[in-house]
């Protein structure tokens, strides 16, 4: 089951304003639901799809201006598991991060498409935490 996010949470994960997310919902670019007239919620899998679309990899040899810190909050956009290992992709604003970890670790963290995660970068290793 995919996570669900309020508009402000979705905006923070995508690196855009709340108003931008509302416009995308109103235009149909980002599906949202309301239960009982409450605030709008965005399904995590839909948010992951849009995050991937918004931040395609730059052309080789080009860079984007950034001031990335060691902890990058984002949303899981892809998880590939085999019997021993898992490859987890996270979109953190304009940054796509890939982490290789044991399948057991990915299962214990409950990493699935649409789940919020934090990538901690240390040298050549990326550790993934769940907030």
pLDDT in tens, 64-116: 444 445 778 899 999 999 999 999 999 988 889 999 999 999 999 999 999 99
Whether residues 119 and 79 fall in one domain: yes
Is there a contact between 117 and 128 (Cβ–Cβ < 8 Å)?
yes
Domain of 14? 4-53
CATH number, domain with residue 10? 1.10.1660.10
Is there a contact between 92 and 119 (Cβ–Cβ < 8 Å)?
yes
Which pLDDT score is estimated for 65? 47
Strands, E assignment, 1-131: 4-6, 41-43, 71-81, 85-92, 95-102, 116-122, 125-129
Residues with Cβ within 8 Å of 37's Cβ and at least 6 positions away in sequence, in order, are: none
Domain count, the chain: 2
Tens of pLDDT, residue by residue over 40-75, are: 899 999 998 898 888 765 555 454 444 445 778 899
Whether residues 46 and 77 fall in one domain: no
Q: How far apart are CA 80 and CA 120, in angstroms?
A: 20
Tens of pLDDT, residue by residue over 16-43, are: 889 999 999 999 999 999 887 788 899 9
């Amino acid at each position: 089951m995919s996570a669900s996010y309020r508009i402000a949470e979705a905006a923070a994960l995508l690196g855009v304003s709340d108003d931008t997310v509302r416009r995308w919902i109103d235009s149909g670019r980002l599906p949202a639901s309301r239960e009982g007239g409450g605030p709008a919620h965005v399904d995590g899998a839909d948010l992951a799809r849009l995050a991937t679309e918004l931040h395609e990899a730059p052309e080789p040899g080009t860079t984007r201006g950034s001031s990335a810190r060691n902890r990058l909050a984002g949303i899981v956009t892809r998880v590939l598991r085999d019997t021993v290992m898992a490859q987890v992709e996270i979109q953190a604003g304009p940054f796509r991060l890939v982490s290789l970890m044991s399948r057991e670790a990915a299962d214990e963290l409950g990493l699935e498409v649409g789940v919020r995660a934090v990538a901690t970068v240390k040298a050549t290793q990326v550790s993934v935490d769940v907030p």
